[in-house]
Every structure is written in C-alpha cells, then in structure tokens.
Amino acid sequence: MDYFIELLFAGLTRGSIYALIALGYTMVYGIIGLINFAHGEIYMIGAFTSFIVATVLSIYGFPLLAIVIIAAVAAAVWSSAYGFTVEKLAYRPLRKAPRLAPLISAIGMSIFLQNYVLLAQTSDFLPFPELIPEFAFMEPVAHIVGSSDMVILVTTAIVMIALTCLIKFTKIGKAMRATAQDKTMAVLVGVNVDRVISATFIIGSALAAIGGLLIASHIGQINFYIGFLAGIKAFTAAVLGGIGSIPGAVLGSLVLGLTESFATGYISSDYEDVFAFSLLVLILIFKPSGLLGKTETKKV
Amino acid sequence: MSDSPIILKVEGLSKYFGGIKAIDNVDIDIRQGEIVALIGPNGAGKTTFFNCLTGIYTPTAGDIYLSDPRNGKTTRLNGKKPNKITEIGMARTFQNIRLFPTMSVLENVMIGRHCRTKALIFGAVFRNKATRIEETQIIERSYELLKKIGLHRQVNEEARNLSYGAQRRLEIGRALATDPFLLLLDEPAAGMNPKETEALVALIREICAEGHSILLIEHDMKLVMSLSDRIFVMDYGKKIAQGTPEEVRENPAVIKAYLGEDVDA
C-alpha cells in the first residue's frame, strides 16, 4: 500500500509540473490557435534563470526562503520577457499568414533558443542547488512523500486557483475569454487584442518558469535540452485534456503524470515514454477532442 | 437637423477586391442626432461599407472622417485599428449575431466598457483601490444598459441561451457600452417577428433621443421608411440615390434597382 501511495504522489507531482507548462500551450492555443513549440524552451530558460540567481544568492549567504522567492520571481519575469519577445518577433508578423507559417516559426524559435542557451551557457548537465529543504513535520511520511513533492503540489494548486480567479473575475480575464471566442468582435467592442495576446504569453511563460524552478530543484540538474521533452510531454497533456481548455490541461497533465508513475512503478521504467504516448494515441482514437475538449460540430 | 454638425464624412470611398469594385467612389455624410439608413439590393456593398468604416477592411481609396460632437475633434479613420475606432466613438453590430456565446449577459456588456477604463494586468493582479472602484462602476453602468434593453432579469444567463430577439438587443447593448456617439446597426431587424421589430424601433428611437446618431442597414422597408431621417441607396457598389424617405421612394433609379427595368415603359 505504501508503494502505491508513493507512486500516487510521484505521479501527482509529475502531473503538476506538466500542468504548469501545459497551461501555457493551452492558453495560447485557445486564443490564437497556435501550438507554441517554443514554450518548452521558455520553461528551460526559467530553470536556467533560477539556477543562476539561486547560485549567486547562495554565494552571498542569503537564507533559503529568500533565495527560493527571489529566484522564482526572477525566473518568472525573465521568462515572461522571453515569451513576450518571441510572440512579438516570431508570431505577430505572421498573424494573418496561413496556419502552417507560425507553426514553422515556432519550431524555429524552439531550435534557436536551445542553441542560444547551449552557446551562452554550456552543454553539460549543471547540478541544481536543492532549494526545497526537508521539513521536520514531513519526517513521519518522508519515506512515501518527499518535502519537495509537497511543495510542488501546494504551489501548483495555489497557482491554478489564482489563474482560475484571474480568468473568471478580472477584466483581463474577460478580455481573454472574449478574444478566444471571437477575435474580430472583441476588437470591435474595443478590446486591444494585441495586448491580450501579449498578456497571455506573459502569464503562460511565468507559469512555465515556476514549473522550471520547481522541477529543477526536485530533480537536481538542468541542461539546455530539458525543455524539449518537457515541452512535448506538456503538449501531450494539453491535447489529452482537450487543447484550448484550461481545466482540460490540468486534468490531462495529472492523468499523464499518474500513468507514467504507475507504469514505471509496476511495469518498467524503460517504457515510461512509451506508456505516455500510447495513452495519447488511445485518447486521440477514441475521443479526438480530448477529455474535456469541445467537439466541433460543423454545419453542413 | 440640417444645421447640426457633421459627425461622419465619407469622401470618394472605394474598396476593390481584385477586379471587383465592391464599393465605388461613395460619398456619405451623417449629422449629429440623425438616423440614417443605408439600403440597397443584396450584394450592393453595404456590409463592405460598414467594414471599411469600422477598420476591418482598409479602403482602396477615399477618406473617412469622424468628428466627435462632444469635443469637436476630427479624426481620419483610414488605416486605424478597429479597437482604436471604437475608442474614438463608433460602435457596430453584425448582420449575423456575434455575441460571446459562453459568457454571461452581464459579461458581454462589461467587455464593451473595456476601452473606457484603464486598469489592465497590474490592477488585476494587485486589485488596488482604483481598480475596485472602476470595476464597481463598470458593473453599475452595465446594469443600467441592461435595464434599458430589457435584459436586466437575465444578467447571469449565458448569451447563447437567450432568445433571438434578446440576443439582438444584447448586441446593441454591448455596442452602447463602448459609449459611441455613432452607432452602426447591420440589419438589426433581420429574422425578428413583428412584435420584436416594434420593440426594436422603440429602442432605436430611445437611443437616438439620448444623443446617439445611428447609421443602419436594413431590408425591412417599413422600418426604414418610418425610422430614418435620410436614406442612402447603393447598388453594385455605387451610391445611386439619397434623400428623405419620400424622395427615395419616388426615385426612378431606386425603383429600377429593386424591381428591374419596366419593359413597357
């Protein structure tokens, strides 16, 4: 039973991280119908930024909590700047182009950012400082659930609730929903759609950066290439839940995380990715719009 | 009416799609407080004309000037973005209803207040006092508008669940929420039953009495003739007639455009 619970929490932790990244994919898709393939790289840049900030701060002997908070804020701001710039440079000029053009542009951006970090930093795996301490009150259950798992779960939950409130109750949230439902009409009632799209990229990037910090600290090492697989997995999760749907992205991520965790725990860790992507194929065959996605009925 | 200031002046407006002249050298002017109708057979270029005015299309040639009667400022609209034009003070509705279907009635109207308020993402995150006051004001103003269009009992209903007539009225309410001085209505009575049309006419009169000017496209001739101060008639992209309802009704060019040439004449 302990083993089951251990796998359950490992799966939820993994799923939470996927969710932080998948939200960026799904929000951008919901608003401009683009799969932002550079999103995984934004997450990687978030991890690198927090690595640099945390390392510098720990040299100066800052307390751990301060390091975590400053690193998280720095990573979120820096990644947002990247997300904002990528949209402005690579997607905005192509807004009216056929859908394939921005998609190719996104893949190009992804490759560019990977290689930029490779050149600017290193190709080696860097040891990431352990930012999340072992809490004393977690001691009795430490063999099942680690402290960092707990921190990731709680942080993700808080972020999700905040995001839901932002979209449900605020003006920018309303503008985002309106833009997603009918962009032309949103412009005509005076919504500055360019600004809404920028805001979407900024929010998505900040979430991915926080995910980057959490996972890097959890796993303990980073590399310029981590964004690729994480991005693909999060994209899978978003499609699994129904791309464009925010609750769908969260659900899809948790389902994916749990599947991976149980499959590796009970069967074999060698097949982790095989299970993840088989699940995707199965869902797409039986429910092409994803778990919570809307089926589009076209009028004939 | 003829001495009130001109608020919309369109000079030599043309819009070509390749070789097709959808709008060909059209002049139109609208004065403060007028209800003006734009009529013409299907495919005459009326909706394209609206799309040029509101910035969805960039005109091929010609100028569009909008003067705000509240401060007398004149702006050339060519090449301006649609949301900028809405901000200046011109709003529109669509021929086919384009509400935000899964947002509530209240939210649909609140969205229209956007361009009149300042707070964006910062305010949303930190929710300072100014933002909260602003939000209360938005909601109050939206309620007022909903009351006027008679939808204040359905504020939390999703827009797609409203009846057809109510959806049309909500579209007008959302357009009004942007505080326009000129309102463009594209076939507001299309698909309405006689009772709904009657309520619509009353609503348009009320909006006009409050100081908004109105330009409307409509096929319901009874409505057009009873409501408008002046009428412009388009056919094949050209303006073929203009004048008061009586003048237009008698105009041979208009009769020809609608009914075809009289063989016996």
Q: What is the pLDDT of residues A10-68, one digit of tens each?
A: 999 999 999 999 999 999 999 998 999 999 999 999 999 999 999 999 899 888 889 99
Q: Which residues of B touch A (CB under 8 A)?
A: 54, 56, 81-83, 86-87, 91-92, 94, 98-103, 107, 110-112, 114-117, 119-121, 123-125, 135, 138, 174-175, 177-178
Angle at B29 between CA B28 and CA B34, to 5 degrees: 125
Pick from A269, A242, A270: which is nearest to A255 by CA?
A: A242
Return the half-sphere exposure (C-beta side, CA atoms, 13 A cut-off) of residue B69: 18
Share of chain A above pLDDT 70, in %: 98
Question: Per the domain annotation, does A51 fall within a domain?
Answer: yes
Q: Which two tokens stand for residue A144?
A: 């099942």
Helix, strand and coil content of chain A, in percent to the nearest 5, comes to: 75, 0, 20
Cβ atoms of B206 and B169 within 8 Å: the answer is no
The topology (CATH level 3) of B6-101+180-259 is: Rossmann fold (3.40.50)
In a domain, A15, yes or no: yes
Asked if residue B35 lies in contact with residue B184, where contact means CB atoms within 8 angstroms, the answer is: no
Q: Which two tokens stand for residue A66?
A: 């301060």
Contact between residue A127 and residue A221 where contact means Cβ atoms under 8 Å apart? yes
pLDDT band at residue A118 using 50, 70 and 90 as cut-offs = very high
Is A274 in contact with A290 (CB distance < 8 Å)?
no
Distance separating alpha carbons of residues B108 and B183, to the nearest angstrom: 17
Residue of chain A with shortest Cα separation from B104: A174
Please state the pTM of the whole predicted model.
0.84
Q: What is the DSSP annotation of B15-28? A: EEETTEEEEEEEEE
Q: Which residue of B has its CA nearest to A180?
A: B100
What residues make up the domain containing A280? 2-286
Placement of tokens 């009667």 in the chain? B69
- DSSP 8-state class, residue B43: T
Lowest mean pLDDT among A263-267, B45-49, B122-126: B122-126
Of A189, A193, A195, the CB nearest to B112: A189
Percent of chain B at pLDDT > 70 equals 94
Q: Please tell me the distance in Å from A175's CA to the nearest CA on chain B.
A: 7
Average pLDDT, integer, range B42-54: 91
Q: How many Å apart are CA B164 and CA B159, to the nearest integer?
A: 10
More confident residue, A171 or A73: A73
β-partners of residue B8 are B30, B66
Could you tell me if residue A296 is inside a domain? no
Q: In whole numbers, what is the pLDDT of chain A averaged over residues?
A: 89
Between CA B223 and CA A38 the distance in angstroms is 54
Q: Per-residue confidence at B121, pLDDT binned at 50, 70, 90?
A: low
- Strands, DSSP E only, in A2-142? 126-127
Q: What are phi and psi of B8, to 5 degrees?
A: -130, 125
The verdict on a CB contact (< 8 Å) between A181 and B135 is no
Residue A298 is assigned to a structural domain of this protein: no
CA distances to A103, A184, A185, B147, B209 from A190, in Å: 28, 10, 9, 22, 24
Chain B residues whose CB is inside 8 A of the A181 CB are 100-103
- Which chain B residue's Cα is nearest to A203? B121
CA within 13 Å, CB half, A201: 29
Q: Are strands B74-76 and B61-67 parallel, antiparallel or unpaired?
A: antiparallel
- pLDDT: which is higher, B115 or B58: B58
Question: CA of B172: which chain A residue's CA is closest?
Answer: A189
Query: Cβ contacts (< 8 Å) between B98 and chain A: which residues?
Result: 182, 184-185
Classify residue A295: in a domain, yes or no. Answer: no
Q: Which residues of A touch B (CB under 8 A)?
A: 166, 170-175, 177-178, 181-182, 184-193, 195, 199, 202
**pLDDT tens readout for residues B232-255:** 999 999 999 999 999 988 888 888
Helices A39-59, A193-219: inter-axial angle, 10-degree rounding: 60
CATH number (domain holding residue A208): 1.10.3470
Interface test with B, best of A171, A191, A205 (most B CBs within 10 A): A171
On whether residue A292 sits in a domain, the answer given is: no
Mean pLDDT of B46-66: 92
Distance from CA of A60 to the nearest CA of B (A): 31
Q: CA nearest B25: which of B62, B57, B56, B72?
A: B62
Task: Give the one of B81, B111, B124 whose C-beta lies nearest to A178's C-beta.
Answer: B111
pLDDT bucket at A295, cuts 50 / 70 / 90: low
Per-residue pLDDT of B174-228, as tens digits, reads 999 999 999 999 999 888 888 889 989 999 999 999 989 999 999 888 889 999 9
Judge: A177–B101 Cβ closer than 8 Å, yes or no.
no
Element (H, E) at B140: helix B129-148
Nearest CA among B110, B120, B200 for reference residue B146: B110
Tell me how many domains chain A contains. Answer: 1
Task: For residue A297, tell me if it sits in a domain.
Answer: no
